[in-house]
Amino acid sequence: MLTKNESLAELAPQRAKGNGLVHVEQRHGRSRIARLFQEGCAKIRMPHVTRDPFEAILINTAGGLTGGDRLHWTVYAGEGTSAVVTTQACERIYRSPESEAIVETRLTAERGTHLAWLPQETILFDRSALSRRLDVDMDRSASVLLVEAVVFGRQAMGEVVKEARFHDRWRVRTGGKPIHAEDFRLGPDLATELSRAAITGGRRALATVMLLGSEAERHLDAARAIVGGDGAVSTWQVDGVNKLLARLFAPDSYELRKRLVPLLRLLNGQTLPKVWSI
């Protein structure tokens, strides 16, 4: 029972909130940090590198997200820079009785840049809820590599996800014009939906990979060889920008990584951040 000096607002559960920004610019022949902002549970660390690409590691110090939590990342790659942005570990989305966790990412790639957005997998637990949004603004001369992977329960831990809500929204623009848009939504009866052949046929680890830029089309055959039968790869051009899009499915995160890591190496010039190999 509340005392007369207490209110419902004061007893409301604490929520994780984080806002992180990193701005990279070309200076003295290398891509270097120009601006860094960190707030709340969002932290950014830059490993020491002696040459491009610039590398940033995003960290959520809350240790995971649940309903009502919000995380916002902003990455700005200035003209002529090369940058790779990843996460320290897999993000975890825990049980949420009512509201959803929200993760928003905004990327900007200026003229002549190479920007790789390579977060590690997001793991959803039973009765979790996640709304994830990725917005990209890029110059036609830029090269942008994007990946988002999600795992519904860890098979090695015996976790089963029967109910969950998941919404993944992508928007990519060049010169203010949309060149890619998609909304992928699952739940709340997640187990039934994943069992359908048109979704994943019961496989509970999936990833979307996209490469935008002049090199996209030449990787088609090699990418298809890596992805194999559990997924698909296609290329096309929109408003003068070449796109390669790959979808991968696997029974668990280990099997997914066996194809996802070689694919990302191929599309990112044979290099990946060290945290991907830990």
Write down the residue that tokens 């975890």 correspond to: 92
C-alpha to C-alpha distance for 192 and 266, rounded to whole angstroms: 34
Q: Which residues contact 81 (CB under 8 A, 6 or more apart)?
A: 24, 25, 26, 31, 52, 54, 110, 113, 114, 115
How far is residue 102's CA from residue 66's CA, in Å, rounded to a whole number? 9
What is the model's pLDDT at position 11?
52
Mean pLDDT of the chain: 92
Question: Is the per-residue pLDDT at 10 higher than 80?
Answer: no
Residue burial 108-140, b: 16+ Cβ < 10 Å; e: rest = bbbebbbbbbbbbbbbbbbbbbbbbbbebbbbe
Under 8 Å between Cβ of 34 and 78: yes
Out of 181-190, 204-213, 267-276, least confident range = 267-276
**How does pLDDT run across 220-253, given as a tens digit for each residue?**
999 999 999 999 999 999 988 999 999 999 999 9
Residue 245 pLDDT? 98
Orientation angle between helical segments 253-267 and 220-227, nearest 10 degrees: 170
Q: Are 149 and 135 in contact (CB under 8 A)?
A: no
Those residues whose C-beta lies under 8 Å from the C-beta of residue 47, and which sit 6 or more positions away, are 55, 57, 273, 274
Q: Residue 85: what pLDDT?
A: 97
> Which amino acid belongs to residue 221?
D
Q: Cβ-count burial of 165 within 10 angstroms (0-12 exposed, 13-18 middle, 19+ buried)?
A: buried
Whether the per-residue pLDDT at 254 is higher than 80: the answer is yes
Domain ranges of the chain: 16-197
Which run of H or of E encompasses 222?
helix 220-227
Of 12-21, 146-155, 196-205, 226-235, highest mean pLDDT: 226-235
What would the mean pLDDT of 52-61 be, rounded to a whole number? 95
pLDDT value at residue 159 = 78
Q: Do the strands 241-250 and 205-212 form a parallel or antiparallel pair, or are they unpaired?
A: antiparallel
**Please, which residues have CB within 8 angstroms of residue 96's CB and are 6 or more apart in sequence?**
66, 67, 68, 127, 128, 129
Share of the chain above pLDDT 70, in %: 95
Q: What mean pLDDT comes out for the span 42-47?
A: 95
Q: What is the pLDDT of residues 73-107, one digit of tens each?
A: 999 999 999 999 999 999 999 998 779 999 999 99
The reported pLDDT for the residue numbered 87 is 97
